Structure 1
Amino acid sequence: MNPSLLFFLFGCVTKFVVQKSPDCENYNRNYFRNLSLSLKNAEVNFDVDLISPLVSGVRINLDFFTRKPNSKTYQSFYQYSFDMCTMMNNHKNNLFKRWFSSFFSYGNLKAQCPVPANHYYIRKYNINDLVIPTFLFSGFYRLTFNIFENKNQGRNKDLIVSCSVEVEIK
C-alpha cells in the first residue's frame, strides 16, 4: 500500500483528554471474578480474574459516537463487530488487530485463543500511543464495546462485559 495513503488512513492523533473515565460496571460474574479498569493521565491499567475460558464465538461489538462541543448528546457514526478469536488468530492485520495487539507488551494478555482462566492485567498503557485514523478529527467521542459469547449457534447471546469511555481528541 502507498505510504502516504497509510499515513492518511492511520495517522496519529497527538492527544486524548478523558472526559468520562472508563465504565465497565456491567460484567458477567460467570466469566469474571473481578474487573477493574482505570484511565488516569492517559495511562490505562486493567485487572481481571477470568474464571471461564474465552473461546471461538466470543464477539466484540464496537460503537463509535461523536458530539458537538456545545451538545451533551452523542450520535453514532460507526459500528464494527468481529469474532475476537478469529481476529487474534488471523494473520491479516487491520486497525482493530493493531489496537488489540498493542496491549500485549504492557501485560500478560494472551495473543491467541482459547484464552484460559487466569488473572490478566495491563499496566501503564499510554492511550496516546494508539494509532488513530486521521478521519477522526479533533472533537468529542464515546467508544462503547460489548463482548458476548454466542450460544446455540448464535440464537442466544451471553453478555461477558459492556464498557464505555468518553474522550476528547485534540
Structure 2
Amino acid sequence: MEMFLLVSIILLFCQTYTLRSKFTNVSVECSYEFCSSTRGWLTARGEVSLDIHLNRTLRNGLRTTITLMQLVQTGRDSSYQKTLFSYDMDTCKTLRELLQASLMKVWLRNVFKYGNLADRCPIQPADYEVRNFQLENHSIPAYLPPGFYRLHDTNYYGRPKGKQRRLVATFVLDIKFY
C-alpha cells in the first residue's frame, strides 16, 4: 500500500553506487479499522513480500511519516540508532506530484512492477500484494556507507504532531547495505 512511498523517498536521493542490499527483517501492522489482514515476509534472498487486505477506502488527508535510521556500533556489545532523516507528508498529494515528474515516474514504475499497489488516491478496498521486492543496486543512495539501516513508515490520519492520530498502517524494513 504505502511501501512504494518508502522506496520512493529513498530513491529521491539516488546516484549510481556499487553497494548491494539485502532486507534482513520486515514488519507490517495495519489497524483493524482499515485492514482485515496483513502479512510480510522475507525470501531466502532477502527480498520483501507483502499481503494486505484493505477493507476501507483511504482518502485525502492520509499522511505518511518516513524515517531512515542507521545502526551505529559504539562498542563491542553496544549500538544505537541514528536518525538520518524523517519526513512527514500528505500521502495523496505526494503521489500526485511524484507521478507528474518523469524521473520519479520511472522509479515508481520499478516499485509497482513488484505488485499491484495503488498509484493514486482514493485507494480503494482490495487485496494488495508485493512479491520479491528488492532495491536495485544502482538505486542505493550514494551518501549511505555500508551497514545496517531501518526504514520506518507510519501511515495515519490526523495532524503530524497531534495527539489524536488514527493509525492506518506501519511498515518497518531492516536493510543491510554491503
Give the alignment's TM-score, normalised by structure 1.
0.79
> Structure 1's 165 and 119: CA in aligned 2 closer, same or farther, altered over 3 A?
same
**Mapped contact 2:68–2:86 kept (Cα < 8 A):** yes
User: What is the Cα-based RMSD across aligned positions, in Å?
Assistant: 2.6
> Structure 1's 108 and 115: CA in aligned 2 closer, same or farther, altered over 3 A?
same
In structure 2, C-alpha distance between the alignment counterparts of 1:53 and 1:129, rounded to whole Å: 34
Q: In the alignment, which of 84, 93, 99 is matched to residue 77 of structure 1?
A: 84
Does 1:18 find its partner at 2:23? yes
Which structure shows the higher strand fraction? 1
**Mapped contact 2:65–2:86 kept (Cα < 8 A):** yes
Please list the CA deviations of residues 35-93 of structure 1 after superposition, one character each: whole Å capped at 9, or x if unmatched: 11122213221111100111111111011111224543212121112111111112136
Identity of aligned residues (%): 22
Aligned equivalent of 2:9: none
By how many angstroms is 1:111 displaced? 1.2
Amino acid corresponding to residue 136 of structure 1 in structure 2: L
Aligned equivalent of 1:45: 49
Aligned equivalent of 1:55: 59
Counterparts of residues 97-136 of structure 1 (less than 5 Å):
100-128=108-136, 131-136=139-144
* Aligned length, in residue pairs: 158
By how many angstroms is 1:125 displaced? 2.0
Point out 4+ residue stretches in structure 1 off by more than 4 angstroms.
Answer: 97-101
Unaligned runs of 5+ in 1: 1-7
In structure 1, C-alpha distance between the alignment counterparts of 2:172 and 2:17, rounded to whole Å: 22
**Mapped contact 1:42–1:127 kept (Cα < 8 A):** no
Amino acid corresponding to residue 120 of structure 2 in structure 1: Q
In structure 1, C-alpha distance between the alignment counterparts of 2:157 and 2:142, rounded to whole Å: 32
> Structure 1's 130 and 117: CA in aligned 2 closer, same or farther, altered over 3 A?
farther
